[in-house]
Amino acid sequence: MDEVKKKLFRVMKVLEETERRIEIIRQKMDELEQAGMTSARLHWRKDRRGEPKILELLHSTRSEYYRQNGRRRQYVGTDDVAIAEARQKVERYRLHQKLNRQRKKLERKSQEIRRAIDSLEMLTFEYRQQPLGTVGTGFSEKNGSMSPELTDVTTKMVSPQDMSPQDVLEYFSRSPVLAGLVDDLKDCPAFRDG
């Protein structure tokens, strides 16, 4: 039993560390956004000899710059300070994209851990039923459990196939999420006749 406790403790530590890293990455991404960045490409216009002379930023047609100005090319020029600033903006965007990929990977890991914990909880208590797509997303905490809360953990859920139409209506009316469907169900022939 001690081994199981150690495993659970390690899982919780990994979850906490993962969520801490996600928050650090979010803060770094916010800092990069505040400093200014661009998804544009650096483009050098060449002089007559074919040497790079004037720097421009080439924006995509989906960029904010294009939407505001109606142009893809943004003149930077030959000034060393302006060129360095443009390069920094492009580099900040690349770093932002890299951090965003890391954040998404960590969020998937966190979500998988939460799903496993939710599955363990469902196996343990046999009463919390949620739509599969909401397991591990905090749906039940935000919107209430799909199942009405049971006060006795040892009480098992009755299978929907074993419930009468009236029992189903009563069950739905006790759920904060499913209660809105009760009136619609009452109009169904199966529930009127039952």
* 3-state DSSP of the chain: CHHHHHHHHHHHHHHHHHHHHHHHHHHHHHHHHHHCCCCCEEEEEECCCCCEEEEEEECCCCCHHHHHHCCCEEEEECCHHHHHHHHHHHHHHHHHHHHHHHHHHHHHHHHHHHHHHHHHHHHHHCCCCCCHHHCCCCHHHHHCCCCCCCCCCCCCCCCHHHCCHHHHHHHHHHCCCCHHHHHHHHCCHHHHHC
Q: What gap in Å lies between CA 135 and CA 146, rounded to an integer?
A: 11
Of the pLDDT bands very low, low, confident and very high (cuts 50, 70, 90), residue 1 is: low
Of the pLDDT bands very low, low, confident and very high (cuts 50, 70, 90), residue 162 is: low
Structure tokens at 187: 């109009």
pLDDT in tens, 58-82: 999 999 899 999 999 999 999 999 9
pLDDT in tens, 98-135: 999 999 999 999 999 888 887 777 777 664 454 544 54
pLDDT in tens, 21-59: 999 999 999 999 999 999 999 999 998 998 989 999 999
Q: What is the pLDDT of residue 150?
A: 44
Q: Where are the domains of the chain?
A: 2-125, 132-193
* pLDDT higher than 70, residue 173: yes
* pLDDT higher than 70, residue 149: no
The distance in angstroms from the start CA to the end CA of the chain is 49
Q: What is the pLDDT of residue 42?
A: 96
User: Among candidates 84, 115, 105, 102, which has minimal Cα distance to 29?
Assistant: 102
Q: What is the pLDDT of residue 132?
A: 47
